[in-house]
Structure 1
Amino acid sequence: MDLDLAQVRAFVQAAGELHFGHAAEELSISQQALSKRIARLESTLGRRLLDRGGQGVRLTEAGRRFLEPARQALAAADLAVAAVLDTHRPLRIDVWGHLYAPMRTLAQVATGEPRLELGHGRDLPSVITALLHGDIDAAFGRVHAPLSAELTHRLVRLEPVDAILHTDHPLANAPAIRPAQLRDGVLWTPGALHRLDFLHRFAMAFGIHEHAEGTNLGLDHFLDDLAADTHRFSLLPADIPLPPHPAIRSVPLIDPTPLYAWSLLWRGNGGHPLLDTLTSAFVTEAERNRWLEYDPTRDWLPERHSTDAGTSTPS
């Protein structure tokens, strides 16, 4: 039985949207054309894949069984086309977690590679969507659940973070701070705490109950808001170059030292020839700079990570 990939793509899009109008718009075809393609696919298979009724669009049992293999078939077809046509296309890579400046690490690894097309400004859910749709080839940031089963990631850097606080904060003059000492402070976050996985887990792990939220408008604005209250503190990578600010001090965290885990994320079937090159460059840089050193008696991670490709396991 030979399947028409246009019909399969129509089904997969409709199954993802559960709305024929939205699916047709994403595929740049009419809703009538979408319906015809799915009907022809169902006729070929001899099974109804989608139920369309007054309560909207729903997958049938056959549709649920067919969906994942259908996605894999489309991904394989896209890779076949890319192997022929995209050999000279830049590798499209996006980042997230911009307050923690992921471009610093990416630039260190990718310097001199003219075939990288860099984006920025997404959050993890947007990156996952872009990867699954094929809009980008890879992404770089902190990975946390939930992740699609179609994606793979590799841990490439564990970065210590410091406490940043007002110069009049009670702990500002300490040579180092234990996370537990911040329990009575106010954690300042560039957005809703429940959306900032690392900071959220840090607060839960060390009993920090008070927090205040602002808007992520860049590092300068973030530091100005942090300096508005002498009881506020936040976290930033230890080696990030802070802009001059008379009211802000950075102090190392110890016993344990929190580590921010950076990962490279891509579709499990890869696809772009530069992806292996980029992964190898990360591995080389990690070995040179000892980026993956971790001592559970000294360091704190919100999740256990593996240096091999795969998913992380919550601790």
Structure 2
Amino acid sequence: MDLDLAQVRAFVLAAEELHFGHAAEELSISQQALSKRIARLESALGRRLFERGGQGVRLTDAGRRFLGPARQALAAADRAVAAVLDVHRPLRIDVWGHLYAPMRTLVQVAAHEPRLQIGHGRDLPSVVTALLHGDIDAAFGRVHPPLPRGLTHRLVRLEPVDVVLNTNHPLAHAPAIRPEQLQDSVLWTPGPLHRLDFLHRFTERFGIRDHIEDPNLGLEHCLTDLAADPRRFCLLPADVPLPPHPAVRPVPLVDPTPLYAWSLLWRGNGDHPLLAALMNAFDTEAQRNRWLEYDPTRDWLPGHHPTDTAVPAHA
């Protein structure tokens, strides 16, 4: 029998989400349309693939047997299309986390690669959606779980984080600051704290009680807000160039030094020919600039246990 790949794709997403509504959102179709696709697939196969009941959705034995080969069939189909259509197409890559300036790192690695088509995602969820829909080939920014199945990410840079303070802050003229010393200060966040994984983990780890949420309108807006209140601070990667501003200054964080993790994220097998070249370029720069150095006695890496001695390069 000939499989309808749209039906197979609907099945795979529903099997991974175990929620028809979420799978329909990923495909940008209605839940009714997704249910019809799966029903037609079940009819063609002569087997029920899902059990539907008051406890939600779960795979039948036939569904579990079908899932692995179904994923392989979709990957093979994607490779076949790419082989015909994508030979000369640029690598479409989105970046996110604009206040932290991910383009600094990407430009350093790929400044002379004209076949990159760079776009901007709003945040990690929007970038993940673009990847799953095939709108982009890869993405670059801070990755944190949970990620949908079928996506792969690779850590490419760990960057020390500085605290940026109002010059009238009591700690502003210290040569270095321990994160715990900021407990009585107010963290400025570029958006809702619960959606900013790194900053949320920082507040929990170091006991930061107060924060103020503003829209991410860029670095100048951030510095203007800091200048308005001597209790406020924000966190920025150490290499982010700060525009001159007489009312704020950066100070290194120590004991421990927080590390901001940059990763490359892609879908499926990463078949675009430029993706391997881009990863090799990241590897070269990481070795040259010691981007992946991590000392658990000195550094704090969110999600990485202090007793670990190595940073995973793949996840």
Question: Please, what TM-score do these two structures have when normalized by structure 1?
Answer: 0.86
| Local SS of the residue matching 1:176 | coil
Alpha-carbon deviation of 1:40?
4.1
Q: Write out per-residue CA displacement over residues 255-309 of structure 1, whole angstroms, 9 at most, x where no aligned residue.
A: 1111111111112411201110000000001111111111112111112273432
Cα distance 1:243–1:205, how it changes in 2: closer, same or farther (>3 A)? Answer: same
Query: Runs of 5+ in structure 2 lacking a partner?
Result: 305-309
Contact 1:214 1:225 in 2 (8 A): no
* Identical columns (%): 72
Contact 2:156 2:313 in 1 (8 A): no
Alpha-carbon deviation of 1:214?
1.0
| Local SS of the residue matching 1:164 | strand
> Partner of 2:20 in structure 1?
18
| Local SS of the residue matching 1:130 | helix
1:306 equivalent to 2:308? Answer no
Alpha-carbon deviation of 1:67?
4.6
Contact 2:140 2:264 in 1 (8 A): yes
- Rounded to whole Å, the distance in 1 between the matches of 2:39 and 2:205 is 52
> Partner of 1:171 in structure 2?
171
Alpha-carbon deviation of 1:103?
0.7
Q: Write out per-residue CA displacement over residues 134-186 of structure 1, whole angstroms, 9 at most, x where no aligned residue.
A: 22111111111112232211111111111101010000111111111111111
- Rounded to whole Å, the distance in 1 between the matches of 2:111 and 2:5 is 39
Cα distance 1:185–1:64, how it changes in 2: closer, same or farther (>3 A)? Answer: farther
| Local SS of the residue matching 2:160 | strand
> Partner of 1:288 in structure 2?
288
Cα distance 1:299–1:13, how it changes in 2: closer, same or farther (>3 A)? Answer: closer
1:3 equivalent to 2:3? Answer yes
Residue 8 of structure 2 aligns with an amino acid whose one-letter code is V
- Rounded to whole Å, the distance in 2 between the matches of 1:24 and 1:224 is 38
Cα distance 1:23–1:67, how it changes in 2: closer, same or farther (>3 A)? Answer: farther
- Rounded to whole Å, the distance in 1 between the matches of 2:45 and 2:106 is 46
> Partner of 1:188 in structure 2?
188
| Local SS of the residue matching 1:127 | helix
| Local SS of the residue matching 1:255 | coil
Cα distance 1:83–1:251, how it changes in 2: closer, same or farther (>3 A)? Answer: same
- Rounded to whole Å, the distance in 2 between the matches of 1:249 and 1:143 is 28
Query: Runs of 5+ in structure 1 lacking a partner?
Result: none
1:122 equivalent to 2:143? Answer no
1:264 equivalent to 2:264? Answer yes
Contact 2:26 2:133 in 1 (8 A): no
Residue 142 of structure 1 aligns with an amino acid whose one-letter code is R
Alpha-carbon deviation of 1:3?
2.2
Cα distance 1:11–1:88, how it changes in 2: closer, same or farther (>3 A)? Answer: same
Residue 118 of structure 2 aligns with an amino acid whose one-letter code is L
Q: How does 1:228-239 map to 2 (within 5 A)?
A: 228-239=228-239
Contact 2:165 2:226 in 1 (8 A): yes
Residue 197 of structure 2 aligns with an amino acid whose one-letter code is D
| Local SS of the residue matching 2:47 | coil
> Partner of 1:207 in structure 2?
207
Residue 230 of structure 1 aligns with an amino acid whose one-letter code is P
Contact 1:13 1:23 in 2 (8 A): no
> Partner of 1:42 in structure 2?
42
| Local SS of the residue matching 1:3 | coil
Q: Write out per-residue CA displacement over residues 91-124 of structure 1, whole angstroms, 9 at most, x where no aligned residue.
A: 1111121111101100111111111111113211
Root-mean-square deviation (CA), in Å?
2.9
